[in-house]
Structures are given as structure tokens and as C-alpha cells.
Amino acid sequence: MADELFDLSGKVALITGGSRGLGLEMAKAFAKAGADIVIASRKAEACEAAAEEIRALGRRALGVGCHVGDWDALKDLSDQAYDTFGKVDILVNNAGMSPLTPSSEETPEALFDKVIAVNFKGPFRLTAVVGPRMVAGEGGSIINISSSGAIRPMPAFLPYAGAKAALNTITEGFAKEYAPKVRVNGIMAGPFLTDISKAWTPEAREKAHNALGRPGRPDEIVTAAMYLASPRSSFTTGSVIRCDGGVP
């Protein structure tokens, strides 16, 4: 029954930050549901390695080295996806970075600009180039991976929190711009046990300041993503779903 609910047969999904972490988990889940996958991240070799994992699942895959903070590179990423597969049905703006800073005053301008570029400018630009092509084609679903930090900002990561809050805002705006053929939604993720968590303390990997008292497993974001990617969410657009274990 679940396979029927989230059937993505014949679909093409483009996922930024798709070579590891939550992006790779979503890529594999979409592939198992029948989608072909375009994986983009900064390192081309990591993209190709992830693409091989997708091919091992019996689906077609394309790995593209691309820095999402590079405005011009995103048009090329879109072109490569369309040249290879002829369409993009699902776009997941997942790539992000959340470096901590000692204080707002000590935040370097270069770091500020990089955080904004990766977490906000990139998703804006890629949606702006893929969205109209979806409208001109068969339509599609765009999913922006945000963060609970957007609504619960902390001093150590204010530029990141601001960028994710902006991402939430453009999610609703793009939903209006590309309606009714393209749906645009977001997922506000909380702490997840991805490769980044290897740098956390043992306690942080077991406990979290949320209602469930723990970090999420990577597979626990997949169902929300599958719902938004599939036709089963046909009446859901301009929404941002919290997937954070109940951050207070």
C-alpha cells in the first residue's frame, strides 16, 4: 500500500546536497519509489559515487558537481538535468551549511555571504530557473529543506537562521508564482543523525532539546519528503512542515 501511495515511477528528481546526509537518504528513497535522480553537490566525485548507489537500485542517475552559491552554475545544472532526462518533476533544495560563530560581531563578512549564498540565494536561483520549465512542461513539486532554526534562532547561528527564515518566505511566494501546475513546499528539519553528527558529543547524539528528547534518524525525514514529492500531496502548496521532534 505504501508503495502505491508514494509511487514516483517515471519521475525525475533533482536534489542538491544529494551526495550525503539527508539529501542522499531522499535520493535513495525516491529511486526506490521509481524516480530517476540528478545529484548535485560541490564535489563531482562524491556526486558520481552517490549516482552509482542510485544505479545499483536499478534507476538512472546523473551526478553533477555544482556549488549552489554560484548564481550562473545553477542554470547549467538545470540544463544538464533537462538535456539528460528531458524534464525535472521534483526539485529538492537541500544543500546547506550552518557554521557556528563566536558572536555576531565576530562573524566574518565572507562567512556571512557564503551562508546566505548556499542557504538562500542558491535555492532562490535554482527554483527560478527550474520552476518556469516545470510550468511549461507537466508541472512538478519543489521542496525546500529549511530548519527549525528559522523559527527558533540562536545567537551562534544567526546568519543561518535568517537565511532559512528567508527560505520559508520564498517557499510561499514561489507557490503563488508557479501555481497551479507546480507545488512548492518546505520541511523545517531539526537535529538529524547524519555524517555531520559525528562531530557532536556522545550526549548530543542521544538526546535533544525537543519533545521526543532525541535527534532524528535520516530515514525519518523521508516520509515527509515522499509525501510532498508525490501526487498524494496534490492539495498542499505554500506549506512548511516541521520535522524536528517537537522543538519547543
Question: Would you please indicate which residues are annotated as catalytic (active-site) residues?
Answer: 160
Paired strand residues for 147: 189
CB atoms within 10 A of CB 138: 12
Q: Is-contact 185 236, C-beta < 8 A?
A: yes
**Diameter of the chain measured on Cα atoms:** 53
Look at residues 243, 246, 247, 222 and name the one whose alpha carbon lies nearest to residue 8: 222
Look at residues 183, 173, 96, 188 and name the one whose alpha carbon lies nearest to residue 142: 183
How many secondary structure helices (H) and strands (E) does the chain include? 9, 7
Query: What are the start-end ranges of the E strands in the chain?
Result: 12-16, 36-41, 61-65, 90-93, 140-147, 182-189, 240-243
The amino acid sitting at 16 is T
